[in-house]
């Protein structure tokens, strides 16, 4: 809207894999990006415009495009990942750059304590953010966009090879998701009907109780302000869901303070943690990634992730805790796997959640609180969820399926990598070693 008020607009998306380096988008995110851009391209055509696609470093590509077209100003949505902040600074050195806020309830960094310092703990952050809600009313999309007299050349989306081939592993993603604004609005409408029951259903993997809006929010297909205004008056336990939206804002504020949060533990003592290494550890990591740990709820979650690019929130906590505390594998290994396989892979949310699970974050679960996946599976009635994603166990009863005995476990299903009691004792001993320094 701000750009359209200034005159003709050339909508541009730059695929910049050079600036983020090892943090370039993973496979699942690239699949989503392809379809999201296709949807955006169609929406722009309906408004008399086009989408120009270019590939390369943001500052270099935009500077070259400005010279080609005579464009004077660049309007973009502000991002807070450290590499995109660097890119914004590089663009601003070459061109007139106007950054807009809109992908969070409040601009990251704007919610501060009485002394003006940023919050590190979620609860007081959420309390302060709540005092500024509701967010401003979202602006309607323009019905038309003023076009330039001539259009610059554009890459072909299909030439970017964002979709998987040899093999095509995205069948489950296609079945599950509809990237783009239209799919986002449908998903929001569906969730708004059940938002009042969020607290009672969000922990049940077999029930469609969560919003599944996270990839749409991450890719900017839907604003959190729109989600807030569509759900906040639902009543019931919708406040719990709004708190999850607040956690998304909180995570961005954390990486604004700690840009290296994805690679460095916030608590220095975890630099001494005795993570397991070696060939046996690598084999355990592969078993976790494939969903072959012998813990049905963990395996169901990891298989859901691979098939659909998403995992139920409660199960994300269980699978992360299992890798960290049962297998004693560095949380960064899990964060890296999620980065590649999640359609909603988000630097802030992903790293903050993994450090929360590891106990190494600025606001985190205590390491010594070790969840028992088998009892959690039974507690949250995950039998149907396990049957869906671990079909070799589908014939077991509700009582047996959470923790198959040697007699009931099918030959096709693996034995446990480690028993829960043994894993718990090993994890607590590793924690004692870290503390003793």
- Report if residue 94 sits inside a domain: yes
Same domain, 79 and 225: no
Same domain for 317 and 362: yes
Whether residues 76 and 25 share a domain: the answer is: yes
Which pLDDT does position 1 carry in this prediction? 64
**Whether 283 and 347 share a structural domain:** yes
Distance CA 382, CA 319 (A): 14
Report if residue 38 sits inside a domain.
yes
373 found inside a domain: yes
* Token pair listed for 422: 């043994």
Residue 140, in any domain of the structure: no
Give me the pLDDT at residue 437, please: 74
Tokens found for residue 90:
């590089």
Residues 393 and 330 in one domain: yes
226-231 long-range Cβ contacts below 8 angstroms, 24+ apart: 226/138, 226/188, 227/188, 228/105, 228/133, 228/134, 228/135, 229/134, 229/135, 229/137, 229/138, 230/188, 230/189, 230/192, 231/188, 231/191, 231/192, 231/195
Q: What is the pLDDT of residue 337?
A: 98
Check whether residue 301 and residue 383 sit in a common domain: yes
- Statement to judge: residues 318 and 277 lie in one domain: yes
Examine the domain organization and report whether 311 and 399 are in the same domain.
yes
10-residue mean pLDDT series, the chain (437 residues):
79 98 96 98 96 97 96 94 97 96 94 95 97 92 91 98 93 97 97 94 90 97 97 96 97 97 96 97 98 98 97 95 98 98 97 97 95 94 97 96 94 96 97 92
Whether residue 165 is contained in a domain is answered as: no
Q: How far apart are CA 85 and CA 90, in angstroms?
A: 9
**Which of the residues are catalytic?**
244, 247, 275, 313, 331, 354
3-state class (DSSP) for residue 232: coil
Domain residues for the domain of 394 are: 268-436
Q: Which of 257, 290, 318 is the last residue of a domain?
A: 257
142, 47 contact by CB (below 8 A): yes
Last residue of a domain, one of 201, 225, 257: 257
Say whether both 217 and 297 belong to one domain.
no
Same domain for 185 and 294, yes or no, is: no
Q: State how far Cα 401 lies from the chain centre.
A: 29
Task: Please tell me the predicted confidence (pLDDT) of residue 142.
Answer: 86
Of the residues 213, 229, 257, which one is the last residue of a structural domain? 257
Q: Are residues 316 and 407 in the same domain?
A: yes
Residue 159 forms part of a structural domain:
no
CATH number at residue 206: 1.25.40.80
Determine, yes or no, domain membership for 323: yes
Split into its structural domains, the chain has a count of 3
Q: What pLDDT does 274 receive?
A: 98
Residue 355 lies in a domain: yes
The answer to whether 313 touches 324, Cβ cutoff 8 Å, is: no
120 shares its domain with 246: yes
Instruction: Please report, for the domain that includes residue 42, its CATH number.
Output: 3.40.50.620
């Amino acid at each position: 809207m701000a750009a359209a008020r200034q005159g003709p607009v050339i909508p541009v998306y730059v695929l910049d894999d050079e600036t983020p380096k090892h943090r370039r988008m993973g496979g699942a995110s690239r699949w989503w990006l392809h379809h999201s851009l296709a949807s955006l391209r169609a929406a722009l055509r309906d408004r008399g415009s086009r989408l120009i696609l270019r590939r390369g470093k943001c500052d270099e590509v935009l500077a070259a495009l400005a010279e080609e077209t005579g464009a004077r100003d660049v309007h973009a949505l502000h991002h807070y990942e450290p590499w995109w902040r660097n890119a914004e600074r590089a663009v601003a050195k070459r061109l007139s750059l106007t950054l807009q806020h809109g992908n969070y309830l409040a601009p990251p960094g704007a919610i501060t304590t009485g002394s003006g310092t940023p919050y590190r703990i979620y609860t007081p952050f959420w309390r302060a953010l709540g005092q500024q809600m509701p967010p401003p009313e979202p602006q309607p999309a323009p019905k038309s966009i003023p076009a330039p007299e001539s259009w610059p050349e554009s890459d072909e989306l299909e030439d970017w090879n964002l979709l998987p081939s040899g093999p095509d592993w995205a069948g489950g993603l296609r079945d599950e998701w509809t990237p783009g604004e239209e799919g986002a609005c449908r998903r929001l409408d569906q969730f708004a009907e059940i938002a009042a029951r969020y607290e009672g259903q969000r922990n049940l993997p077999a029930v469609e109780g969560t919003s599944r809006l996270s990839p749409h929010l991450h890719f900017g297909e839907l604003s959190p302000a729109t989600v807030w205004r569509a759900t906040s008056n639902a009543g019931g336990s919708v406040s719990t869901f709004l708190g999850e939206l607040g956690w998304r804002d909180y995570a961005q504020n954390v990486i604004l303070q700690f840009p290296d949060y994805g690679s460095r533990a916030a608590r220095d003592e975890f630099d001494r943690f005795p993570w397991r290494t070696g060939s046996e550890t690598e084999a355990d990591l592969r078993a976790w990634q494939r969903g072959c740990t012998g813990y049905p709820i963990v395996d169901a979650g990891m298989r859901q992730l691979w098939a659909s690019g998403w995992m139920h929130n409660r199960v994300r906590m269980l699978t992360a805790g299992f890798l960290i505390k049962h297998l004693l594998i560095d949380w960064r290994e899990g964060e890296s796997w999620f980065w590649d396989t999640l359609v909603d892979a988000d630097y802030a949310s992903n790293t903050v959640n993994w450090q929360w699970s590891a106990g190494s974050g600025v606001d985190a679960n205590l390491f010594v609180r070790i969840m028992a996946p088998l009892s959690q599976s039974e507690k949250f009635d995950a039998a149907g969820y396990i049957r869906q994603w671990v079909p070799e166990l589908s014939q077991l009863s509700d009582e047996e399926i959470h923790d198959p005995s040697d007699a009931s476990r099918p030959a096709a299903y693996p034995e446990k990598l480690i028993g829960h009691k043994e894993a718990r004792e090993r994890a607590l001993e590793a924690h004692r070693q870290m503390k003793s320094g």
